[in-house]
Amino acid sequence: MNTRRQFIQKSVLGISVATLPGLSSGWTEPVDMHPEARASESFNLGIAGYSFLHFDLDASLAMMKRMDVHYLSIKDFHLPLDSTPEAITAFHQKLKAFDVTGYAVGPIYMTKSRTEIDAGFEYARRVGVKLIIGVPNKEDLEYISEKTKAYDIRYAIHNHGPEDKLYPNAKSVYDLIRNLDNRMGLCFDMGHDTRDGQDPVADLERYHSRIFDIHFKNVTAATRDGKTCELGRGVIDIPAFVAMLRKIKYTGQCSLEFEKDMKDPLPGLAESVGFYHGVVAALPRS
Amino acid sequence: MNTRRQFIQKSVLGISVATLPGLSSGWTEPVDMHPEARASESFNLGIAGYSFLHFDLDASLAMMKRMDVHYLSIKDFHLPLDSTPEAITAFHQKLKAFDVTGYAVGPIYMTKSRTEIDAGFEYARRVGVKLIIGVPNKEDLEYISEKTKAYDIRYAIHNHGPEDKLYPNAKSVYDLIRNLDNRMGLCFDMGHDTRDGQDPVADLERYHSRIFDIHFKNVTAATRDGKTCELGRGVIDIPAFVAMLRKIKYTGQCSLEFEKDMKDPLPGLAESVGFYHGVVAALPRS
């Protein structure tokens, strides 16, 4: 079993427990009664904070507990960039009470000035995570690459579909960062990649060396008009995607970003969580 | 694709459309945008009405629509046994508006007197379904067998676990009805069968010729103390169960009976619906 304790011990993200404020004491086992029913994978299911746009942290964590999901990508509406050290400690303590790890911050938009880049790295350092999901200007990529070295924090650029002039798909990001520091990579939004007419399974394989995080979702159409839907109801072949996650030995999170029914997301999120676990449970190991 | 239209045309349950009040006109295709994302099976997912114990019919159907589930096993708290023909017609019309088929009635307890048996068959005839889920006395089984012939309505006995002196498991039912009319069978509660220490996958194979309906669920333990839980979180190997459903070419419903969080069942039901579809999507065809 890939228990969370083992995950932490493996330190997949390079985070040692002691570096996370409020997370320095012992870990408790998962709260679900039957962790053995969950298949062992090198990756984990998470939730992208944006799914909880209309909910405060307590309500969001209550939903995660209900769904038995333990990884959260932190959005600034749950933990503002100017949070005090005390607020950050309290944030992590609250997450710990729900057996949730905040493993990344973002997406953070950094297109107005380099001040935003500097502030983003300082924020990540203070929060204690080793991964920033960001949207920068292309002109700043080398500057950011130097930052990733200086902070030893990875930076994952988020692709946002055909409307996104900067980063419509995975390839557009990869081509820009492939020769930069290897802490420069992608938060692969498989839904927006698909909406841009790309093959998300093929792109996962092609660019996996730089895929640090995944916005895990499905969409109703492989076109600009495609909308996020429940994980099992869209055009992306999720079993094929999960098979590829295994093939490439992905060790990050698959964080559900559910942009449907955002004022009442729990049923659709829960269906998606169930679908993921059903695929993992039934997909044969090659 | 096994569309619902095809399902009706196949008349798996022996129900012709014209015999269902309020269902005599044309059928519309499923409302979900991407039915092609759902794998084709000879069986369908449904909901056992008991899951909606605390909800009226409108609220129950709204939840089914949200989850994109189209088969309902009808409980008497949604359609009382003494319903007038007009109430039955209105009931079916309401289900039709939600693209839901009420395919069976029950469980109905019939242990007090044969009057209950007679009333149950009359109710099923008036409702227009060809399947009763019932709990009868053993002494009445031959009487019921004659009823199934007279009405051409199948009768599925519900097994209820170790506390059930009459029908703790599938075998206890099968041994009693195997020599009766072949319209006598089981509503196989795989959770209670497991709680009784039985192997639900093996029992599905052994008794499938008489399994007319399934209360589809998982449980936290294979003992008396086991409780219903979300489909992917329990001790029953659901992929193995679904593989067996395919092997035996099951043509009935798998109706989720979710006895957890009954005053707020939607998240757990939705997770279970997702898990089922994930298993169906990822399980290889042998």
Is the link from the previous residue into A107 a cis peptide, with omega within 30 of 0?
yes
Interface contact B278, partner A, CB < 8 A: yes
Note the pLDDT tens digit of each residue in B57-115.
999 999 999 999 999 999 999 999 999 999 999 999 999 999 999 999 999 999 999 99
DSSP one-letter string for B20-34? STT--SPPPPPSSS-
Note the pLDDT tens digit of each residue in B104-143.
999 999 999 999 999 999 999 999 999 999 999 999 999 9
Quote the mean pLDDT of chain A: 89
Note the pLDDT tens digit of each residue in A47-69.
999 999 999 999 999 999 999 99
Give the closest residue to A189 by CA, choosing from A136, A234, A254: A254
Q: Which of residues 186-225 of A touch B (CB under 8 A)?
A: 220
User: Is residue B201 scored above 80 in pLDDT?
Assistant: yes
Complex prediction ipTM: 0.88
Q: What is the structure's pLDDT at B39?
A: 52
Q: What is the structure's pLDDT at B237?
A: 98
**What element of type H or E holds B47?**
strand B44-48
Question: What is the number of other CB atoms lying within 10 angstroms of the CB of residue B285?
Answer: 7
Q: Which of residues 96-135 of A touch B (CB under 8 A)?
A: none
Average pLDDT over every residue of A126-146: 98
* Residue A254 to residue A251: CA distance in whole angstroms: 9
Assess contact for A156 and A129: CB atoms under 8 A. no
Spell out a b/e string for A104-137, using b for 16 or more CB atoms within 10 Å of the CB, else e. Answer: bbbbbebeeeeebbeebbebbebbbbbbbbbbbb
How many residues comprise chain B?
286
Chain B nearest CA to A220, separation (Å):
7
Average pLDDT over every residue of B28-51: 68
Q: Is B274 within 8 Å of A278 when comparing Cβ atoms?
A: yes
The neighbouring-strand residues paired with A105 are A74, A132
- Taking the mean position of all CA atoms in its chain, how far away is CA B93? 20
Note the pLDDT tens digit of each residue in A2-46.
333 333 333 333 333 333 333 333 323 333 434 444 558 999 999
Q: Is B268 within 8 Å of A270 when comparing Cβ atoms?
A: yes
Q: Is B284 within 8 Å of A284 when comparing Cβ atoms?
A: yes
> In terms of CA atoms, which chain A residue is nearest residue B239?
A282
* Residue B88 to residue B92: CA distance in whole angstroms: 6
Q: What is the largest CA-CA distance in chain B?
A: 50
* Residue B42 to residue B28: CA distance in whole angstroms: 20
Assess contact for A107 and A99: CB atoms under 8 A. no
* Residue B257 to residue B248: CA distance in whole angstroms: 22
Q: Is B233 within 8 Å of A34 when comparing Cβ atoms?
A: yes
Q: Is A68 within 8 Å of B233 when comparing Cβ atoms?
A: yes
Counting Cβ atoms within 10 Å, is residue B168 exposed (0-12), middle (13-18) or buried (19+)? Answer: buried
* Residue B129 to residue B73: CA distance in whole angstroms: 10
Interface contact A20, partner B, CB < 8 A: no
Cα A211 to Cα A69, A71, A155, B100, B182: the distances in Å are 21, 17, 10, 42, 58
The sign one gets for the Cα dihedral A143, A145, A147, A149 is negative
Residues of A within 8 A of B229 (CB-CB) are 33-34
